[in-house]
């Protein structure tokens, strides 16, 4: 597994990480044994970066990660970095809630769930845009770094605007953002700006909630507690988190078109992950996995050869034909 620096955090992480939203909740039922098996498989394949959040299954994801790491060799554990997030437990979810008292309580809950005195990386979890325009949340996180409860601070953003605003805060060491063949705008300004400042980029929703696996058709259905069912139009949270904000029908057409660039022996999902990793600003990409097979397949994308120029041109043409008008100016 290839390793890359995670910005200026001092951490080196696998370029394919493990996104632990699916094993927590909102992706349909995932058995705990399957979830732990997926995590073990990812680590066996060389994954050294796991991304979670305190709200994924109300802490279930964090606790499953803690259980898995407790079963690994202690020396091996020192090479595995876990990032979590804070802020989405606020109700109502408003900018003024991003203060020291609230964030401190969320951090302590994650420390307990993960069984860690010091958290490797805590990211503000898609806060309201106004949070970035003030210092309150960032001063709170700086204080927790000084206290030894948090090692590094990052943000998870919805938009390019938020990414650029986040870069104005020196404490920010990483930015997590949606970037894939269906969401290409970050490559224009946000990713280069982060690279210039030595800020790591963590790419989430790399497979557009499964659209970029090429496995769905127009008859696909999803469980009641799967966000691909209940958040199809942004009913629960930002619609960009579901299918990357792309209309399902046109997403299917675009994915079908992209299958022609998949090299022999690879899948569309693996090819998509390799496309993302070709941007030099990307530190790691965090596809989810609900079982061992998915975890293994994701990890194998690290060793795929770079895509050729004709394949890259096809990705651009597909984006322009099916996707750009839907998403480019929205996020």
DSSP character at residue 149:
S
Residues 103, 141 contacting (CB under 8 angstroms): yes
3-state class (DSSP) for residue 173? strand
What is the per-residue pLDDT across 266-319, written as a single tens digit (0 to 9) for each? 999 999 999 999 999 999 999 999 999 999 999 999 999 999 999 999 999 999
CA distance 111 to 105: 10
Residue 325 has pLDDT above 80, yes or no: yes
Q: How far is CA 14 from the centre of its chain?
A: 13
Strands (E), the chain: 3-5, 12-14, 18-19, 49-51, 81-86, 119-125, 150-156, 172-178, 200-204, 282-285
Whole-prediction pTM: 0.96
Higher pLDDT pick, 264 / 231: 264
d(CA 325, CA 316): 13
Boundaries of domain holding 215: 3-327
Q: What is the pLDDT of residue 27?
A: 62
Q: 78 — phi, psi (to 5°)? A: -65, -20
How many domains would you assign to the chain? 1
Summarize pLDDT for 218-229 with one digit per residue, the tens. Answer: 888 888 888 888
pLDDT band, very low/low/confident/very high, at 207 (cuts 50, 70, 90): very high
Exposure of 36 by Cβ count < 10 A (0-12 exposed, 13-18 middle, 19+ buried)?
A: middle
CATH number of the domain that 68 lies in?
3.20.20.100
């Amino acid at each position: 597994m290839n390793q890359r620096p995670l910005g200026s955090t001092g951490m080196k992480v696998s370029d394919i990480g493990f996104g632990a939203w699916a094993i927590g909740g909102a992706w349909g039922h995932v058995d705990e044994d399957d979830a732990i098996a997926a995590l073990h498989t990812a680590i066996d394949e060389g994954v050294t970066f796991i991304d979670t959040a305190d709200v994924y299954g109300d802490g279930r994801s964090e606790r499953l990660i803690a259980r898995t790491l407790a079963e690994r060799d202690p020396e091996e554990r020192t090479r595995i970095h876990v990032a979590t997030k804070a802020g989405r437990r606020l109700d109502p979810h408003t900018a003024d809630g991003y203060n020291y008292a609230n964030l401190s309580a969320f951090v302590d809950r994650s420390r307990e769930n993960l069984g860690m005195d010091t958290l490797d990386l805590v990211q503000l979890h898609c806060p309201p845009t106004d949070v970035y325009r003030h210092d309150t949340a960032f001063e709170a996180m700086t204080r927790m770094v000084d206290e030894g409860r948090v090692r590094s601070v990052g943000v998870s953003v919805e938009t390019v605007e938020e990414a650029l605003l986040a870069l104005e805060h020196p404490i920010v060491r990483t930015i997590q953002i949606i970037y894939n063949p269906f969401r290409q705008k970050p490559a224009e300004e946000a990713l280069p700006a982060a690279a210039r400042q030595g800020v790591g980029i963590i790419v989430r929703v790399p497979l557009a909630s499964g659209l970029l696996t090429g496995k769905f058709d127009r008859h696909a259905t999803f469980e009641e507690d799967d966000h691909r069912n209940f958040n199809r139009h942004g009913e629960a949270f930002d619609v960009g988190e579901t299918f990357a904000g792309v209309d399902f029908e046109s997403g299917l057409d675009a994915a079908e078109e992209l299958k022609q660039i998949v090299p022999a022996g690879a899948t569309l999902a693996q090819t998509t992950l390799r496309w993302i990793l070709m941007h030099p600003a990307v530190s790691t990409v965090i596809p989810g996995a609900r079982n061992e097979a998915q975890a293994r397949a994701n990890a194998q994308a690290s060793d795929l050869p770079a895509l050729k120029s004709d394949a890259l041109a096809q990705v651009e043409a597909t984006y322009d034909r099916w996707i750009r008008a839907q998403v480019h100016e929205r996020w």
